[in-house]
Structure 1
Amino acid sequence: MKGNRVSTLTSKWIKTNVLIRDNEIRQYIPMTLRLTKESLWGMITKYGMVYIKPERGTYGNGVIRAEMLKRGTSSFQYQIDTRTKTFNDYDSFYQSLLKVTKKRSYLVQMGIHLLKHGKHRFDIRVMVQRNPKGIWETTGIIGRVAHPGKIVTNYHSGGKLVAIEKLLTPHLATKDREDLLRKMRKLGVMIAKRLQQQYPNFHQIGVDVGLDLSMKPWIIEVNTSPDPYIFNKLADKSMYRKVMRYRRLNR
């Protein structure tokens, strides 16, 4: 039974619906629906750009960026990996997407125009673990810069791991940067506590946070089996040592 309760957390849909019931967390969750012809139409006409992602999946595999090229027109485009396709009507656009999704369960999520480092989008991985006293604690924050030409930032898909201070310094003054990092640490802990209420048998999560152009954080995804080794890519190993120490304690 224990294993079954944890395994259900591979579903992005379930995690979203657990978190969206929390009034404080809800404001950071982009609109997310199950993918249908109708839901995609509604989302893409409302937001202009959306992300289509498998309900279950890791490392950014299968994630699609879709957009209406100009509001109010019938020109659509989607990108998966480095491949881009353009269409002049919605039906052919959607039928092509179906060939990619192959009847698997997908979600459509409001597109976040991510902050960039140079010319490349980046997001942030927030690592949250139970500490030696069993209390949830944010133990690591690291930036992930997308590989040129790709839409996902995951390290396993070619993304580059960068110290978060380096990514935020061009965009924020020192105090504002510290305030934002404090907010993300707090948000990570809130998410862990909320998931724990319904699914108590896990000890760490990785929260992927995207910052939009106004510096608002958005919860892109929550991973209950986060890769701890990404923190070893930082020059300063103190964060990595803490993450690994807590990981060993929780095994």
Structure 2
Amino acid sequence: MKVKQAAKVQSKWIKTKILLQNSSIKPFIPDTRRWNEANLKQMIRDYKMIYIKPERGTYGNGVIRAEHKEGSYKYQLKEKVHNFDSFPAFYQSLSRTVGKRSYLIQKGIRLLKHSGRRFDIRVMVQNSPQGVWEATGIIGRLGQKGKIVTNYHSGGRPLAIGTLLQSHLGTAQQTRLTEELYALGVRIARQMNKTYPNIRQIGVDVGLDAGMTPWIIEVNTNPDPYIFNQLKDKSMYRKVMRYRRAAKGK
């Protein structure tokens, strides 16, 4: 793949293809394919729940959650749920919603919940002032009730991951998981950096399923550092901002 000089990569499809080249990252990437009728039919029947998302987009805008159960189909966009008795009707409605825009279909991950609400995890990875990739922050994002995305700009609430994981894992297990997510984040940053050498920071959004398997939902090459300021402990925020300022000075 040709090396490109860019600090911000918008295409989720390109980012997915870059990560799939790394055998140590590939197992954590949900099945992701381009939007078309054949892929929709196969994936909704294989996985029962999928996400349909714009190839280019931010803040969870345009993300659709679709499900298939006992011959019926439904999808949710924002707070509205649409129900269908057949695949053709389901596809036609989705096709009108997607329109001419480029969309991807991704295997759905049934996220862990806290107080009945879905959550995922953001891992911040930055190039240090010494030029070394380092995981500098980790934070949970608790989705708003009734919404399918956890983004802060869509009403998600940033919380310490210990708060979200306390009913799922013990303290020692949480520490191990954090270390695993940090290591995964650094591998992702190094892999992205091979194709895009000007990248200085990434935000890796990770979903955990019931088996505690981490799934890479998305990699953001222009992550919002300010969500870390929502934590009571400001040490992560201070470090993230220090590295961010150093990167801008290079």
Q: Same fold (TM over 0.5)?
A: yes
Partners of 2:7 and 2:43 lie apart in 1 by: 29
**1:5 deviation in Å?**
3.5
Q: Does 1:130 align with 2:130?
A: no
Corresponding position of 1:80: 77
Partners of 1:93 and 1:6 lie apart in 2 by: 38
Corresponding position of 1:36: 36
Corresponding position of 2:217: 220
Provide the aligned C-alpha RMSD in A: 1.0
Selected match of 1:240 from 233, 237, 243: 237
**1:128 deviation in Å?**
0.4
Q: Aligned partner of 2:153: which letter?
A: H
Partners of 1:111 and 1:226 lie apart in 2 by: 23
SS of 2:28's equivalent in the other structure is coil
* Total equivalences in the alignment: 245
Q: Aligned partner of 2:46: which letter?
A: K
CA contact (8 A) 2:127 2:200 kept: yes
Q: Does 1:195 align with 2:192?
A: yes
Corresponding position of 2:50: 50
Runs of 4+ in 1 over 3 A off after TM superposition: none
SS of 1:202's equivalent in the other structure is coil
**1:8 deviation in Å?**
7.0
Q: Counterparts in 2 of 1:66-215, with a 5 A limit?
A: 66-70=66-70, 73=71, 75-215=72-212
SS of 1:27's equivalent in the other structure is helix
Partners of 2:127 and 2:135 lie apart in 1 by: 9
List per-residue Cα deviations over 1:101-123 (Å, max 9, x = no partner): 11100000000000000100000
SS of 1:5's equivalent in the other structure is coil
Q: Structure 2 regions of 5+ residues with no counterpart?
A: none
Give TM-score, length-normalised by structure 2: 0.96
Partners of 2:65 and 2:151 lie apart in 1 by: 15
Q: Counterparts in 2 of 1:2-17, with a 5 A limit?
A: 5-6=5-6, 9-17=9-17
Partners of 1:93 and 1:52 lie apart in 2 by: 13
Q: Structure 1 regions of 5+ residues with no counterpart?
A: none
**Percent sequence identity over aligned pairs:** 57
List per-residue Cα deviations over 1:30-53 (Å, max 9, x = no partner): 000001000011001000000000
Partners of 1:60 and 1:107 lie apart in 2 by: 13
Give TM-score, length-normalised by structure 1: 0.96
